[in-house]
Structures are given as structure tokens and as C-alpha cells.
Amino acid sequence: MIAAPKIFVAGGSKALGSAIQRAFAQAGHSCLASALEPDLRNQRAVDAFFEAQQPEWVVYAAGKAGGIGLNRRAPADLILDNLLCATHVLHAAHRFGARKLLYLASSCVYPKDATQPIQEDSMYGSPLEPTNLAYAVSKLAGLELCRALRQQHGVDFNIAVPTNYFGPGDDFSPENSHVVGALMARMRAATAAGDPDLAIWGTGKARREFLYVDDVADAAVFLMLGHSWEGPLNIGSGSAVSIAELAQMLKAITNFSGALTYDTSKPDGMPVKILDSSRLAGLGWAPSVPFAEGLRRTYDWYLQQK
Ligand SMILES: NC(=O)c1ccc[n+]([C@@H]2O[C@H](COP(=O)([O-])OP(=O)(O)OC[C@H]3O[C@@H](n4cnc5c(N)ncnc54)[C@H](OP(=O)(O)O)[C@@H]3O)[C@@H](O)[C@H]2O)c1
């Protein structure tokens, strides 16, 4: 049994960070309260926090992220905030002697044309997706800082690449939501308005991998509790659904009785995007929340917030 470490989850106020805190709690470990988290863009504040709290384990789940809208609207904010937050946290974690760290990157660090399912070693094989380049480069910079600290100083700093996640705490706003939150919010509004149909961008044929937020958190804690590894490690479910299949599932969950139409003048994006998570599976981890069940829980949470 590991002696109880002092744990800091950067980004603990939102969906993923708070799920990681809950997963640690289930494993018998408490985390520093997220109310203590300083503005991570402020180096002095981050240093003062690490000096005062001396966290021994750090999970980095912070930063600014969003859908295609935010990526188009605010690329400078995205790259700056993510560079600053990751640099300050990783640097302070090293200088103030954190024993173990997990940096959560994002699947956008892989090339646009990576062979599917995407293996960890396909990083840097060809150019990145241009629509979220600023965000992706900042996530890559954090990843490389983590890798370099491990290489140069021999610290137990590790990198994981979670697939798209969804769940309670997601952003459902039209400006910042990802596809699951966006479709849920639009279908609920269409149901309330009695709309006869709802148009979905693209052909509906694009296939995407999703993981329920508690499963991502469970994987993060599983890795923190028992593993140390070189390079990035994918966290995914290993299966994908088409946007049309997702829309049909959400139609049932939201009780939308209108027709779903597909606006084929809008882009599909990549035909398929799925991570190869066989390395993680080989360590003995598997997701436990079925996709439909995760969608139902997320929708219930969304209705409670409304
Ligand atoms: N969304 C996905 O599908 C996905 C997939 C793979 C990886 N990730 C990674 O997971 C992490 C969380 O992303 P998310 O999409 O879940 O975003 P999110 O819900 O907006 O969470 C971001 C967290 O970072 C905190 N944060 C942002 N700027 C901060 C600052 N300047 N100082 C202190 N805290 C700050 C936020 O706190 P406040 O609310 O107080 O601002 C929040 O707790 C990111 O590292 C992202 O790259 C996300």
C-alpha cells in the first residue's frame, strides 16, 4: 500500500479534474481542494502555491480547451493560456520536488493523416490538423516539457493522451461545446420547441471515439497508482460510433420526435478518429461505463442544471 501522498489535480474545478479527484477519493486518497488552485498563468502564484502546499503527486488536467468555434475565435488565447499553465505547473512541480506527475495531453497532438487507430509512435509523422493548430502546439509543448524533465532529471513525470471525453460538467454552450454536448443541447431545445426536424452538420458518417469522463479519470488514477512509462500513452475506449449513430442514440435519450437531416454542405472533418489504446489495455485497464449509459447520465446532469 502506498503511503498517502499529497495530491494536486490542476484543473480540479471542471468535469475532468473533479472526476479525477472523485476517482482518487474512491481509491482512498484525498486531493488538495480546488479552491486553493491559483491562476496557473501567473508564475509567482503557482510557485507560492507549490511552496506552501508541497504537493507530492500532480495530475495536470488544466488549461483552455473548446470546440472548433473557440479554436477559430481565440487561437492566441488558447496557445498562450495552455503554454503558460503547463509551463508553470510542470516547472514548479519539478523545482518543489513532486514525486510523480501525469500530464494529460489531447488526441489533437497526433497528425491529421495519422493511420487509424492512432498509435503513440505516429506523433510527428506528418502535419497537424490546421483548425486547432494553436491548441495542439501548446499541448505538444507541455508534453515535450514533461518528457524532457523526465529525461534530464530522471523524475517520474508521465504523459497520457486521452481521447475525446464527455460527461457531467461538460460545456453545453453553442460557442464552446464539443459534439456530444452540442447535439444534446440542440435536441433538447428542438424537443421543447416542437421542431419537426433538426439539421446535423456533415454526412453523419464520420466516426469518433468517446470516453465517459469517469472512465478517463479512472484510467488516470490507475496509472498514477501503479505505473511509470516512457513517452505518451493513449487513453481510449477502442471503439468508435458514427455521428449518425450518436444522433440516433441522443434522439432516444432526449425524446426528440422530429426527423434528423444531414447538411452535407458542411464538412465532416476526418472520416474516422480513434486511438489505439492497446498499450493501456495491456497494463490491465478497461473502461467500465457503456457509451449509452454515459450519454444518459450526462443528459440527466444537463437537465438538472437547466
Ligand atoms: N475535452 C476533451 O475532450 C479533452 C480531451 C483530451 C484532453 N483534454 C485535456 O483535459 C484538460 C481539461 O480540458 P477540458 O476540455 O476538460 O476543459 P475544461 O472543462 O474547461 O477544464 C479546464 C480546467 O482548467 C482550469 N483552468 C483553465 N485556465 C486556468 C488558469 N489560468 N488557472 C487555473 N486553472 C485554469 C479550469 O478552471 P476554471 O474553470 O477555474 O477556469 C478548469 O478546471 C486539458 O488539459 C485538455 O487539454 C480534454
Q: How confident is the model at residue 287 (pLDDT cuts 50, 70, 90)?
A: very high
Amino acid type, 297: R
Please compute the mean of the pLDDT values over residues 229-253 and round it to a whole number.
Answer: 96
Helical H segments across the chain, by residue range: 15-26, 43-53, 68-73, 75-95, 133-153, 179-193, 213-226, 243-254, 278-282, 291-305
Cβ(19) – ligand 1 distance below 6 Å: no
Please compute the mean of the pLDDT values over residues 215-223 and round it to a whole number.
Answer: 98
Q: How confident is the model at residue 3 (pLDDT cuts 50, 70, 90)?
A: low
| pLDDT number for residue 269 | 79
Pairing verdict, β 207-209 and 240-242: antiparallel
Catalytic residue IDs: 135
Q: pLDDT per residue over 16-48, tens digit each? A: 999 999 999 999 999 999 999 999 999 999 999
Ligand 1 geometric centre to CA of 39 (Å): 12
**Ligand 1 pocket: which of 9, 13, 16, 208 to mutate (most atoms <8 Å of CB)?**
16
Ligand 1 geometric centre to CA of 60 (Å): 9
Q: Are 272 and 116 in contact (CB under 8 A)?
A: yes
Share of the chain above pLDDT 90, in %: 89
Cβ(167) – ligand 1 distance below 6 Å: no
Cβ(217) – ligand 1 distance below 6 Å: no
Q: How confident is the model at residue 215 (pLDDT cuts 50, 70, 90)?
A: very high
Q: Which three cell numbers stand for residue 228?
A: 511509470
Q: What share of the chain is helix, strand, coil (3-state, %, to 5)?
A: 45, 15, 35
Ligand 1 atom having least distance to the Cα of 162: 6
Q: Whose CA is nearest to atom 27 of ligand 1?
A: 63
Say whether pLDDT at 217 is over 90: yes
Say whether pLDDT at 306 is over 90: no
Cβ(143) – ligand 1 distance below 6 Å: no
Ligand 1 geometric centre to CA of 247 (Å): 26
Q: Are 253 and 299 in contact (CB under 8 A)?
A: yes
Q: pLDDT per residue over 164-213, tens digit each? A: 999 999 989 887 788 999 999 999 999 999 999 999 989 999 999 999 99
Of residues 79, 66, 11, 76, the one with CA closest to residue 176? 66
Average pLDDT of the chain is: 95
Please compute the mean of the pLDDT values over residues 137-150 and round it to a whole number.
Answer: 98
Please state, in angstroms and rounded to a whole number, the distance separating the CA atoms of residues 179 and 68: 10
Of residues 202, 289, 296, 297, the one with CA closest to residue 249? 296
Please state, in angstroms and rounded to a whole number, the distance separating the CA atoms of residues 275 and 49: 35
Please state, in angstroms and rounded to a whole number, the distance separating the CA atoms of residues 36 and 31: 11
Q: Whose CA is nearest to atom 21 of ligand 1?
A: 14
Please state, in angstroms and rounded to a whole number, the distance separating the CA atoms of residues 242 and 71: 23
Ligand 1 geometric centre to CA of 303 (Å): 22
Q: Phi and psi of 37, rounded to 5°?
A: -65, 125
Q: pLDDT per residue over 72-102, tens digit each? A: 899 999 999 999 999 999 999 999 999 999 9
Say whether pLDDT at 289 is over 90: yes
Q: Whose CA is nearest to atom 16 of ligand 1?
A: 16
Segment (H or E) for 92: helix 75-95
| pLDDT number for residue 4 | 78
**Coil, helix or strand at residue 216:** helix
Cβ(164) – ligand 1 distance below 6 Å: yes
| pLDDT number for residue 174 | 81
